[in-house]
Amino acid sequence: MHIMEGFLPVEHAIGWGIASAPFVAYGTYVVKKRIRENPEQRMLLGVAAAFTFVLSALKLPSVTGSCSHPTGTGLGALLFGPIAMAPIGLVVLLFQALLLAHGGLTTLGANIFSMAIVGPFVAYGVFRLARSLKLSFAVSVFLAASLGDLMTYVTTSVQLAWAFPDPVGGFMASFAKFAGVFAFTQIPLAISEGLLTVLIFNALARFNPQELRDMKLVRAGEVQA
């Protein structure tokens, strides 16, 4: 759901940049502190960042001025907490804007807010809620990654509708149009991302279950689906 370079009005581009900045700053502090205290998690952090970069680079044309793609942020949000994905998302989106012409510098703040802030917080919240309801680890991960992806596209629809309200129906009519067009590509992508994230977590649980237990993601003695 990267919004293309120069597509947003200047005031919106600046506003989303300001809104995203505190999350990026605090997320950077949290990541540095986490790695300083747990240096063995550097590789896992790299895996989460690479997963986000690769998945979010797989774009499909969608709404004018934007695109549909998986986000990959659910994996990192569950491993390191949602705030950690803000600086990771900044790096990913910056590289994609500069190297792949995917997104843009003027829309960096808006894209960070939707993909690296809203999506990860929703994914983390859904996972914790699912676990509190005693759902299995696999189902919890699937719901978290899928709904985090979907909420990213909902946020992008809000951003576009706010910037370009319908001349007759206003914000709500514009939001319905943007969200409706996104849905055709984003719902299947969200389901696919949920399934892929489950496979990644199952692999992590198979090869390093103790680390996932230390992160309080997997319960002792729990068998993964």
pLDDT over 80 at 101, yes or no = no
pLDDT, mean of residues 166-176:
93
Q: How confident is the model at residue 163 (pLDDT cuts 50, 70, 90)?
A: very high
Distances (CA, A) of 29 to 26, 34, 124, 213: 5, 9, 19, 24
CATH of domain 10-214: 1.10.1760.20
Q: Where are the alpha helices (DSSP H) in the chain?
A: 10-37, 42-56, 73-80, 85-99, 108-111, 119-132, 137-163, 170-207, 209-214
CA-to-CA distance for 74 and 148, rounded, in angstroms? 6
Cβ-contact 45, 35 below 8 angstroms:
yes
70 with 200: CB under 8 angstroms?
no
Q: What is the distance between the alpha carbons of residues 46 and 64, in angstroms, rounded to a whole number?
A: 33
Report how far residue 95's alpha carbon sits from residue 179's, in angstroms, rounded to the nearest whole number: 27
| Per-residue pLDDT tens over the stretch 189-223 | 899 999 999 999 988 888 777 777 777 787 665 64
Domain-wise residue ranges, the chain: 10-214
Residue 223 main-chain phi, psi, to 5 deg: -95, 130
Instruction: Give the residue-averaged pLDDT of 25-51.
Output: 92
Q: Is the pLDDT of residue 57 over 90?
A: no
Is the model's pLDDT at 224 over the cut of 50?
Answer: no
Predicted confidence at residue 181, as pLDDT, reads: 81
**Mean of pLDDT over the chain:** 88
Q: How far apart are CA 182 and CA 139, in angstroms?
A: 25
Model-wide pTM > 0.85 = yes
Q: In this predicted structure, which of 66-70, 107-111, 149-153 has the lowest mean pLDDT?
A: 66-70
